[in-house]
Structure 1
Amino acid sequence: MGNSVFFFLNNVSIIVGWKKVGRKGVITVKDGKTLNNKLEIIEGMKFDRGYISLYFINTSKGQKCEFQDAYVLLSEKKISSVQSIVPALEIANAHRKPLVIIAEDVDGEALSTLVLNRLKVDLQVVAVKSPGFGDNRKNQLKDMAIATGGAVFGEEGLTLNLEDVQPHYLGQVGEGIVAKDDAMLLKGKSDKDQIEKRIQEIIEQLDITTSEYERKS
């Protein structure tokens, strides 16, 4: 979990922004509506996976998807059937919120249905493959769940089924940006205590890690 910085282009602002977020922060430049520079530090996550289909693009400002006040559906498993995604779509539609789906993969009838609804009824949705592999993927999905206040469907030890999704199982973000090769989840509706607990878990794991590969992955 890290910080993202949004500011209006100015060399001094870039230097200040870089110092504030550190080496692992993300710096993004946005067009402003005023003549003044603005530096805004936002908590969020960035990962190296983009949209599964170009048909999800919803803005003319580059090949990306931009959402405000969106739900986030997290799944450790592949999503292929229409029945698996309909309940989450109904919840998002009822609350008039976009839906960001992050799963091992989204294909078959599920993907076709999402794309068709995106094109025909302007459904605000995007499907993204979850980053990493194996335990690394599980850990990153867990981090996303904590950062957005949601749950991971298909997670080992849990009996959550996508067909039984309820609003409180979905994560929430104030802003989501998904490009071809990466995605950012910003302003997550997270529980600060859960974040601190997760940070301590990671620190403890690093303390007992002896494999250099695990430290870098």
Structure 2
Amino acid sequence: WKKVGKEGVITVEEGSGLQDELDVVEGMQFDRGYLSPYFINKPETGSIELESPFILLADKKISNIREMLPVLEAVAKAGKPLLIIAEDVEGEALATLVVNTMRGIVKVAAVKAPGFGDRRKAMLQDIATLTGGTVISEEIGLELEKTTLEDLGQAKRIVINKDTTIIIDGVGDEAAIQARVAQIRAQIEEATSDYDKEKLQERVAKLAGGVAVIKVGAATEVEMKE
């Protein structure tokens, strides 16, 4: 607990040796789960695990799959999974992503972005900083149809269940993350309401808290699964 701070997150995964190991990495958890249970790829835990995924951050509702096709094709070619974090993913877009995932054409999961209104925009930017991605926002002239792999964030691993998403080891630049934290701390100083202060503090904790990954060691694979 000491290593990750009080807002830190602890996850457990299978190790490769006999000893238990503890890794503390850059990471973040937020309270949004998968948008469809059909994305689940770990039925034993009812969760989705994505290894070395790309992360698409969109400050909009996605309902038309056509605008996503160029980036989906690029991700499929790269052979990596994709997590979509957007205001919402619905209708035809969600259905098409589910079908493509079930057929194994491209491995996708989708979650709603945390927060609402301006806070959602800010938290998307926090996640972009953590993962080295760009928030696709029409307000600043960025369109989904023109999104390339360079715009996507990346992380070592992502775990999603019904209610939460954990991003483990984002590839964002450490200096950029620290600058973002400093910027939010400055906003805390200026905030007048306790509610605003509290919400800003939550964002600092999520960006600076980290994730502790406990790798459980065991003598045999059967013992490990238990």
- If the length of structure 1 is used for normalisation, what is the TM-score? 0.88
How many Å separate the matches in 1 of 2:102 and 2:64?
19
Q: Alignment partner of 2:2: what SS?
A: helix
How many Å separate the matches in 2 of 1:216 and 1:189?
27
1:24 matched to 2:22? The reply is: no
1:178 matched to 2:160? The reply is: yes
Contact 2:41–2:48, Cα closer than 8 Å, also in 1 = yes
TM-superposed CA distance for 1:202, in Å, is: 0.5
Q: Deviations over 1:7-33 (max 9, x none)?
A: xxxxxxxxxxx1111211111222334
Structure 2 equivalent of residue 197 of structure 1: 179
Structure 2 equivalent of residue 69 of structure 1: 52
Identity of aligned residues (%): 45
Structure 1 equivalent of residue 75 of structure 2: 92
Contact 1:45–1:186, Cα closer than 8 Å, also in 2 = yes
Letter in 2 for 1:74: L
How many Å separate the matches in 1 of 2:52 and 2:59?
23
Q: Which of residues 133, 143, 153 is equivalent to 2:116?
A: 133
Tell me: CA distance 1:88–1:167, structure 2 relative to 1, closer, same or farther (3 Å).
same
How many Å separate the matches in 2 of 1:63 and 1:164?
34
Contact 1:130–1:137, Cα closer than 8 Å, also in 2 = yes
Can you give the 5+ residue segments of structure 1 that lack an aligned partner in the other structure? Answer: 1-17
Contact 1:73–1:88, Cα closer than 8 Å, also in 2 = no
Structure 1 equivalent of residue 188 of structure 2: 206
Contact 2:76–2:105, Cα closer than 8 Å, also in 1 = no
**RMSD of aligned Cα (Å):** 1.3
Q: Which of residues 131, 149, 157 is equivalent to 1:148?
A: 131
Structure 2 equivalent of residue 4 of structure 1: none
Contact 2:113–2:120, Cα closer than 8 Å, also in 1 = yes
How many Å separate the matches in 1 of 2:149 and 2:105?
22
How many Å separate the matches in 1 of 2:94 and 2:192?
41
TM-superposed CA distance for 1:83, in Å, is: 1.1
Contact 2:136–2:144, Cα closer than 8 Å, also in 1 = yes
Structure 2 equivalent of residue 12 of structure 1: none
TM-superposed CA distance for 1:44, in Å, is: 0.8
Structure 2 equivalent of residue 48 of structure 1: 31
Higher relative contact order by CA 8 Å / sep ≥ 6: 1 or 2?
A: 2
How many Å separate the matches in 2 of 1:127 and 1:188?
17
TM-superposed CA distance for 1:137, in Å, is: 0.8
How many Å separate the matches in 2 of 1:172 and 1:33?
24
- If the length of structure 2 is used for normalisation, what is the TM-score? 0.84
How many Å separate the matches in 2 of 1:61 and 1:33?
20
How many Å separate the matches in 2 of 1:30 and 1:148?
21
Tell me: CA distance 1:155–1:80, structure 2 relative to 1, closer, same or farther (3 Å).
same
TM-superposed CA distance for 1:204, in Å, is: 0.8
TM-superposed CA distance for 1:200, in Å, is: 1.4
How many Å separate the matches in 1 of 2:150 and 2:189?
34
Q: Alignment partner of 2:179: what SS?
A: helix
